[in-house]
Structure 1
Amino acid sequence: MNMALFDRLSTVQADLLVAFVPAEGALPESTAWIDENVAGQISQLRDTAVFKGGVAQTLLLPLMTQDFAQAVLLVGIGKDAELSDMQARKVIAAVAAQIKGLPYESVAVASAALTLKGRSESDIIALVSQWLNEGFYNFLGFKESDAEKATKVASLLIQGSDETALTIGTATANGSAFARQLGNLPGNVCTPSYLASKAQQLAEEFSIDVELLDESKMDELGMNCLLSVGHGSDQPSYLIVMHYRGGEEGDAPHVLLGKGITFDTGGISLKPGAKMDEMKYDMCGAASVFGTMKAICELKPKLNFTAVVAAAENMPSARATKPGDIVKTMSGKTVEILNTDAEGRLVLCDALSYIERFEPKSVVDIATLTGACVVALGSVNSGMYANNDDLASELKAASQTAADKVWQMPLDEEYQQQLDSNFADIANIGGPEAGSVTAACFLSRFTESYPWAHLDIAGTAWTGGASKGASGRPVALLTRYLLAKV
C-alpha cells in the first residue's frame, strides 16, 4: 500500500475522505470545510443526534451531493479536547476496520484534527500511520475465503508534513505485521527450522549477515541447557543470529534476544489441555525480534544491531528432559530442572552466555516467560526487569514514545535465594511466590558482563478467546529503543 502525506483536505483527490467529528463544539478545519461544501449536512447530523460523535463511532456517507462526489467517512472523537493514547488507538482502529472493506482505492485521513495528550504532530503522524497499517493486517494462507479479505485500498494519505515520522510509523507497522504473522502460524508450520529459513530470507532481502548454529555446533559450545529443551522433539533446535551493520565498522552492537519456543507442551511437566493451542505463541519473543529486524532494515539507521533467537520445540517423549535432571550451561553453572515447563529461561540462559562474545553495548531479551506476569500486569503492560538504570530509563522512554507500555518490576537480591538447589548451582523454578521475578532472577545470573534488560511479554504478546491473535508487541517499543541509539 502506498503511504503519503498531504497538507489540506481541499487540495486532495481521493475516493474517500475520513473526517473527524467531536461530540460537541466547533468542527475541526477539514471537517468544517466538508460541511461547508455539503450545505451543513455534518452539522445537521450531529445536531439531530443521528451521528453523536462518540469515540470511535463511524458513519459512511457514500454520496454527499452531486457537486461533492467524494465519499465521506465520519469518525467520532468524543467530548475531550485531547485524546488519550487508548482513545486514539480505538479511533484509528475503527477507521481501519471500516475502510479496509470498502471499495475505494484512495483514502485521505484528515488526521490533523486529532490532538493527543502530550504528543507532538510528528508523534501523531507516526502513531496514526502505524495503527492504520496495523488495522489492515489479516492472517492469510489457511482459509478458502482468504481472497475475499484483500483490501481495495491502494493509496492511503495522512495529513501532516513530517515524512520521517510517516516512514517510522509505516516501517514499525510492517515489522509488527511480520511478527504477528509468525506468531499466528500453527506449530506444524512455524518450527525452529522455519524460523531459521525466515532469517535467511531477511538476509537475502536486506543483505544482513546470518549465522545458524545447529545442535552439533551448540553441543560443541556446551549449550546443554538450551539443547535439553528440544531433546523430546523431532524438530532440531537452532540458535539464530542476525547482524545488521549500519554503524561504524567494529562498533559494538546492541543486541535483542528472543525466546523462540515454537510450541510448548510443557514437556514432561505437561500443560493442561485447555488453551494449549495458544502455546504456538510461545515464540512471540522471537517473532518480535524478527519484526524489529525488518523495521530496522527498512529504516536503515546508523547503528550496529544483532538479533538472536533461541529456537526449540518443547515436547514430551522417551528422550525428553525429566524433572530432577541436572544440566550444565554454557557458562559452567549447573541447573536442576525441577519443572520442564519453565523452559524459556533454559534456552535464554545459554543464548545470554553466547552473546558475551559480541561485547554488546546492551542486551534486551524478550520472552513470553511466565503466567505470573499475566497475573501481575494483565495485558496492558509488559513486565520489565533490568540490571542497569540507564537501560531501564531508555526502555521506558521508548515505551512512552511508541505507546507500547512497560512496567518496571523488582530484581532484588533477596529473591535469588528462592532459586537455591540441593543438588545444582541453581534451580530452574523458585516456588509459587513472585514467579515472574524469580524467572528474571534466573536470567540475571547470566548477564553480569553487560547492561541487560528482560521484557516478559506473556500478557501482551497475544489475545486469546474469540479474538485470538498475535499483537505484534513490543516491536514498536524495540524499534523506538534502537532508533534512539543513533
Structure 2
Amino acid sequence: MTNQCEFQVSEDIDDILPVIYGVFQEQGIELDDSYVSNILNTLSEQRGFKGKAGEFLILHISDNGHYRTFVLMGLGEAKKLTGELLRKYSGDLSRLLRRNKIQAAQLLLESCQPMAESTTVLIGNLVEGVILGLYKFEKWKSGDAEASDYFLNLVIVTDDDQSKEHAIQRGIKVSRGVMLARDLVNSPANRMTPTNMAETAQGIAVQNILDVSVLEESDMEQLGMESLLGVSKGSVEPAKLIVLEYKGDPDNPKNNIAFVGKGITFDTGGISLKPPGGMENMKGDMAGGASVLGVMDIIAYLQPKINVLGIVAASENMPGGKAQKPGDVVKAMNGKTIEVINTDAEGRLVLADALSYAESKGIVNVIDIATLTGAMVVTLGKVCTGYMTNSSEFGFALCEAARVAGEKFWELPLFDEYDDLIRSDVADMKNTGGRQAGSITAAKLLEKFVGDMNWIHLDIAGTSTASKDDGSNVKGATGHPVLSLVQLVVNMSNN
C-alpha cells in the first residue's frame, strides 16, 4: 500500500494547473470566464462530448497567451448521480490522469455537485475514488522491475473550511482501510499465513490503541473448537483466532456489533482437492478476514460510540498426512456436531466456532463475511454480494448503509425446508448439502451457531475481486464490503 496522491482545498482557481470540470449530460460548461467557456463548449461539441456518464475528454487551449489543459468528466444526468457513481468516475479519472502523466490538477467541486448533495460527502467520495483508483500492488516487484512512481497532487476548488479538510482526511483514512484489505488479499500465501495475519492485526492494534488477543491452537482446544481446528490439521501452519476490540461505549456493553471473517490464507480443498487450474487465486480465500481488519483500522480512527469486536478465523486448508477426511465428525464450540462430507467446504467450519466465540462474548449483533461458495458467483456474479439474515430489521440497516457507501447487496431466503439438505445420519448436521441451493445451505449451517444474536451472513465470493480496472476498483482484490460495514457502524452509533 503506497500513498500515490495528496489533496488540498483552495478557494481560488490557478491559471496554470490543469482544470478538471464535471459536466452533466446536455448542460455544457459554465466557467466565470465566458470566453473560455465558449471555446470549451465548441471544442467538446466538435468532438462529440455530451457529458454522458463515464465519458472523458482532454482539451488544450490557448487563453491570453497561456497554454491551459481542461479535463472534462462526464457525469450523466444530474438526478442520477450518486456517491457510488462519483466514486467510480473519480477512480476512472485518476487513471486517466496517470496515463496522461498529469501529476498536478485542480478539480472544480461545484461542477460535480447536484443541488441535494452535501459538499463534504462529495469530497469524501472523490477522495476515495481517486485513491482507490490509483491503487497498485507492487510490494513483491524487485528494484529492477518497472514500478509506478506516479504521484498526483489534486487541489479541490471550493469554499475552504475545517469541514472540507476533515472530509479529505476521513476519505484518506477510509481508503487506507480498504487498501489494507486489498493488500492482504493480494499477498501471496507464503507471505500471508495465519501467523502473518495475526501480526498484521497486532500492528493495527498498536497503531490505533485497540485491544488485541490471538488465540493459539492450544487455547482453541481448551474452548472445544474442533470444527476450526479440524481444518488446520493438514497444514504445518498453526491456526489462529484473531480478536480485535474497540470499546467505543464501555458503559453500555450491550451496544455492540461483531464482524467475523473467514481467514483461510490458502485453500487447496484439503483431501477433497481442488482442480489445479486457478488454484493460485485461493490465496484470496481470506478476503472476509482481510475486510474485518480493514474495518477495525477505520473504526479506530472514526471513534464511533459503539463497541466493535473483530474476529478472524485464520487457517490454511491443506491435504497433509494429518488432514481431516471426508466422513470425519467434529464437535464445535457450542457442542453441536458436524459430519465433514467435503473438506473443501471448510469456511463454514471455521466460522461456526468463530460465531460461537462471538456469542460467548455477549455480542448482540454479528455479521460474518466470507468467500464461502462458488454458488454465489453463479447466482449474483461480481455485481453484488448475497446476504442472508435472521433479522429483517438488521438486514435493512445493512442495505441502508450499503446505499450510502455505494455497494450492492441482495437478500436470499433461509426457509426451514433448506435444513433438510444438511441433515446428517451420524451427526447433528453435515457440512454440504449437495448441488442444490449451495449458498443457502452453507448459511443454514452457520445459522446453527448464532444463538440469539442478530445475524447477517455475507458471501463475498464474487465481489471480493475484480477481473479488470473499473472505477475505484482495480484488477485484483476490491476490499469489499469494508465501506458498507464502516457505514453501518457509523449509522448504529448515531442512532
Fold conserved between structures, TM > 0.5: yes
State yes or no: 1:126 paired with 2:124. yes
1:338 corresponds, among 337, 341, 346, to: 341
Distance in 1 (CA, whole Å) between partners of 2:386 and 2:53 is: 29
Instruction: Report what 1:480 is aligned to.
Output: 487
Distance in 1 (CA, whole Å) between partners of 2:288 and 2:98 is: 28
Instruction: Report what 1:153 is aligned to.
Output: 152
Distance in 2 (CA, whole Å) between partners of 1:75 and 1:64 is: 20
Q: Which aligned pairs between 1:123-272 and structure 2 lie closer than 5 A?
A: 123-144=121-142, 148-157=147-156, 159=158, 162-163=163-164, 164-249=166-251, 251-252=253-254, 253-272=256-275
Q: Give how far 1:454 is off.
A: 0.8
Aligned CA distance change for structure 1 residues 355 and 22 (closer, same or farther; 3 Å): closer
Distance in 2 (CA, whole Å) between partners of 1:307 and 1:232 is: 26
Q: Give how far 1:273 is off.
A: 1.4
Aligned 8 A contact 2:86 2:129 in 1: no
Instruction: Report what 2:435 is aligned to.
Output: 432
Distance in 2 (CA, whole Å) between partners of 1:356 and 1:409 is: 24
Aligned 8 A contact 1:84 1:116 in 2: no
Distance in 2 (CA, whole Å) between partners of 1:300 and 1:465 is: 34
Q: Secondary structure at the match of 2:397?
A: helix
The residue identity in structure 1 corresponding to 2:229 is: L
Q: Secondary structure at the match of 1:107?
A: strand
Distance in 1 (CA, whole Å) between partners of 2:116 and 2:342 is: 45
Aligned CA distance change for structure 1 residues 138 and 110 (closer, same or farther; 3 Å): same
Aligned CA distance change for structure 1 residues 205 and 90 (closer, same or farther; 3 Å): closer
State yes or no: 1:387 paired with 2:386. no
Q: Give how far 1:188 is off.
A: 1.0
Q: Aligned-pair RMSD on alpha carbons?
A: 2.5
Distance in 1 (CA, whole Å) between partners of 2:116 and 2:481 is: 21
- Between 94-103 and 220-229, report the one with greater CA deviation: 94-103
Aligned CA distance change for structure 1 residues 109 and 448 (closer, same or farther; 3 Å): same
Which string of whole-angstrom CA distances, capped at 9 and with x for unpartnered residues, describes residues 208-244 of structure 1? 1110001111111111110011111111110000011
The residue identity in structure 1 corresponding to 2:478 is: S
Q: Which aligned pairs between 1:363-402 and structure 2 lie closer than 5 A?
A: 363-402=366-405
Aligned 8 A contact 1:2 1:155 in 2: yes
If the length of structure 1 is used for normalisation, what is the TM-score?
0.91
Q: Secondary structure at the match of 1:42?
A: helix
The residue identity in structure 2 corresponding to 1:477 is: S
Aligned CA distance change for structure 1 residues 132 and 465 (closer, same or farther; 3 Å): closer
The residue identity in structure 2 corresponding to 1:57 is: E
Instruction: Report what 1:298 is aligned to.
Output: 301
Q: Give how far 1:78 is off.
A: 4.0
Aligned CA distance change for structure 1 residues 401 and 38 (closer, same or farther; 3 Å): same
Q: Secondary structure at the match of 1:38?
A: helix
Q: Give how far 1:268 is off.
A: 0.8
- Between 199-208 and 112-121, report the one with greater CA deviation: 112-121
State yes or no: 1:409 paired with 2:408. no
Instruction: Report what 1:471 is aligned to.
Output: 478
Q: Give how far 1:326 is off.
A: 0.6
Which string of whole-angstrom CA distances, capped at 9 and with x for unpartnered residues, describes residues 18-67 of structure 1? 1123452342x4xx23x635373211212312645443333334664355
Which string of whole-angstrom CA distances, capped at 9 and with x for unpartnered residues, describes residues 252-279 of structure 1? 4311111000111111111111111111
Aligned 8 A contact 2:263 2:315 in 1: yes
Q: Give how far 1:87 is off.
A: 4.8
Which string of whole-angstrom CA distances, capped at 9 and with x for unpartnered residues, describes residues 85-140 of structure 1? 66544422221112245555543222332356985544433322221211121102
Q: Give how far 1:80 is off.
A: 6.1
The residue identity in structure 1 corresponding to 2:483 is: A
Q: Secondary structure at the match of 1:415?
A: helix
Aligned CA distance change for structure 1 residues 121 and 279 (closer, same or farther; 3 Å): same
The residue identity in structure 1 corresponding to 2:185 is: G
Distance in 1 (CA, whole Å) between partners of 2:238 and 2:456 is: 28
Q: Which aligned pairs between 1:300-319 and structure 2 lie closer than 5 A?
A: 300-319=303-322
Aligned 8 A contact 2:97 2:103 in 1: no
Instruction: Report what 1:38 is aligned to.
Output: 36
Q: Give how far 1:143 is off.
A: 2.1
Q: Secondary structure at the match of 1:347?
A: helix
Aligned 8 A contact 2:261 2:289 in 1: yes
1:92 corresponds, among 90, 93, 99, to: 90
Aligned CA distance change for structure 1 residues 138 and 433 (closer, same or farther; 3 Å): same
Q: Secondary structure at the match of 2:106?
A: strand
- Between 469-478 and 61-70, report the one with greater CA deviation: 61-70
Q: Secondary structure at the match of 1:443?
A: helix
2:453 corresponds, among 445, 450, 455, to: 450
Aligned CA distance change for structure 1 residues 483 and 282 (closer, same or farther; 3 Å): same
Q: Secondary structure at the match of 1:269?
A: coil
Aligned CA distance change for structure 1 residues 140 and 440 (closer, same or farther; 3 Å): same
The residue identity in structure 1 corresponding to 2:237 is: Q
Aligned 8 A contact 1:245 1:304 in 2: yes
Aligned CA distance change for structure 1 residues 359 and 87 (closer, same or farther; 3 Å): closer
Instruction: Report what 2:424 is aligned to.
Output: 421
Distance in 1 (CA, whole Å) between partners of 2:13 and 2:109 is: 15
Q: Give how far 1:373 is off.
A: 1.0
Aligned 8 A contact 1:278 1:464 in 2: no
- Between 61-70 and 205-214, report the one with greater CA deviation: 61-70
Q: Secondary structure at the match of 2:492?
A: coil
Distance in 1 (CA, whole Å) between partners of 2:298 and 2:236 is: 33
Distance in 2 (CA, whole Å) between partners of 1:226 and 1:307 is: 17
The residue identity in structure 2 corresponding to 1:355 is: A
Q: Give how far 1:387 is off.
A: 1.1
Aligned 8 A contact 2:123 2:168 in 1: yes
Q: Secondary structure at the match of 1:295?
A: helix
Instruction: Report what 1:3 is aligned to.
Output: 7
The residue identity in structure 2 corresponding to 1:111 is: L
Aligned CA distance change for structure 1 residues 318 and 14 (closer, same or farther; 3 Å): farther
Aligned 8 A contact 1:123 1:401 in 2: no
Aligned 8 A contact 1:14 1:107 in 2: no
Aligned 8 A contact 1:38 1:68 in 2: no
Q: Give how far 1:70 is off.
A: 5.2
Instruction: Report what 1:60 is aligned to.
Output: 58
Q: Secondary structure at the match of 1:473?
A: coil
Q: Give how far 1:71 is off.
A: 3.5
